[in-house]
Amino acid sequence: MAKSKPAGPKGQQPEALATFAASARNDGRKPKEIGLEATKATAPLKTSPAVKQDAATKVLREGVLGRKQGADAAIDKLPDRTRRR
């Protein structure tokens, strides 16, 4: 039987994009509150693997084929902590 992972960000590293976004908002310096362990604000965003795979496939197909394959719309379906809404 598989072991279940503990809920929450404990033991996880901060998501790279969360760190970059926080640094950009802090005059290019990583804020002191962002350490080596993720917080609620920097924990990886939950996303369906199927949605991520669809977006990645479309991005790669556009790069290979050189024509639109719906990558922009697929990317917009992914959660994005860097966009302010």
Burial of 15 (0-12, 13-18, 19+ CB in 10 A): middle
In this prediction, residue 85 carries a pLDDT of 47
Domain boundaries, the chain: 47-78
Inter-residue contact 12 to 38 (CB < 8 Å)? yes
Inter-residue contact 55 to 77 (CB < 8 Å)? yes
> What does pTM read for this prediction?
0.59
**Is residue 84 over pLDDT 80?**
no
55 token code pair: 């977006």
In this prediction, residue 59 carries a pLDDT of 96
Q: Tens digits of per-residue pLDDT, 7-34?
A: 556 778 888 888 888 888 899 998 888 8
